[in-house]
Amino acid sequence: MADADILVVVAMGPSGCGKSTVGQLLAMRLGCPFLEGDALHPQANIDKMASGVPLTDEDRLPWLLAIHARIREALDFGDRLVVSCSALKPSYRRVLAFGAPDPAPPPSAPSTHAPGPGRPYGRVGFVLLRPSRAVLASRLAARRGHFMPPALLASQLAALAVEPGEVLAEFKGGDGGGEEGEAERDELFPEPGAIVEAVAARLLGGGEG
């Protein structure tokens, strides 16, 4: 399956990685809608995270299914869509793409959305944003009006798991060896515009993954 066959792009990564910024810019570049995944969290999840308690898999499932419903709608209509969602684990990404955490897609999945070589999530592609830990911590400490406290960063990084060849693209920063909050920039991590152009070139250019 060529990169041009990807219809839905999910900008993913831990809180503070820039997925909402990149997602919005990519949607503008592709001329399609953008869905902010955090907007679909049930209030119970928001309250739990705001109190500094990490979500469990059971907490996340209704939220992931709500996002999947929007993704499935786009796939059914053949429409492009860009989504922002942490999507930290492979099982979460399977729920987003297929509506179930199991390795195999459910029978209801259309054949055009079936996984294939190099495309474990069919026509859904995930773009991983992973700046250094120090930059993530600095961004979270400076952020105002968001329910995700900096204290939950460690649990998000511990949960993040990506297998080789699983994502459409990965943008990685430094190793984050410094203390949390000491760095404002990650010299190795691309600017949002550069990330958008790199992803758009793959999707619009029809190159093979």
- Residue 119: strand pairing partners: 116
Q: Please, which pLDDT band fits residue 193 given cuts at 50, 70 and 90?
A: very high
**What is the domain extent for residue 188?**
3-205
* Separation between Cα atoms, residue 127 and residue 29, nearest integer Å: 15
* Separation between Cα atoms, residue 180 and residue 106, nearest integer Å: 41
Q: Please, which pLDDT band fits residue 181 given cuts at 50, 70 and 90?
A: very low
Pick the closest to residue 186 from 194, 199, 175 (CA basis).
175
| pLDDT of res. 144 | 64
Q: Please, which pLDDT band fits residue 118 given cuts at 50, 70 and 90?
A: confident
> What mean pLDDT comes out for the span 41-54?
86
Residue pair 128/165 in contact by the 8 Å Cβ criterion: no
Number of compact structural domains in the chain: 1
Residue pair 132/189 in contact by the 8 Å Cβ criterion: yes
> What mean pLDDT comes out for the span 101-122?
73
| pLDDT of res. 17 | 92
| pLDDT of res. 148 | 66
> What mean pLDDT comes out for the span 184-209?
80
Bigger pLDDT: 160 vs 174 = 160
| pLDDT of res. 94 | 95
> What mean pLDDT comes out for the span 79-107?
89
Neighbouring residues of 138: CB distance < 8 A, sequence distance ≥ 6: 180, 181, 182, 183, 184
The whole-chain average pLDDT of the chain stands at 85
| pLDDT of res. 178 | 38
| Identity at 186, one-letter amino acid code | D
Residue 68: phi, psi to the nearest 5? Answer: -55, -40
CA atoms within 13 A on the CB side of 57: 10
Q: Please, which pLDDT band fits residue 78 given cuts at 50, 70 and 90?
A: very high
Specify the CATH number for the domain of residue 58.
3.40.50.300
Residue pair 34/71 in contact by the 8 Å Cβ criterion: no
Give the helix/strand (H/E) hosting 9: strand 8-12
Which segment of 93-97, 130-134, 202-206 scores lowest on mean pLDDT?
A: 202-206
3-class DSSP assignment, residue 172:
strand
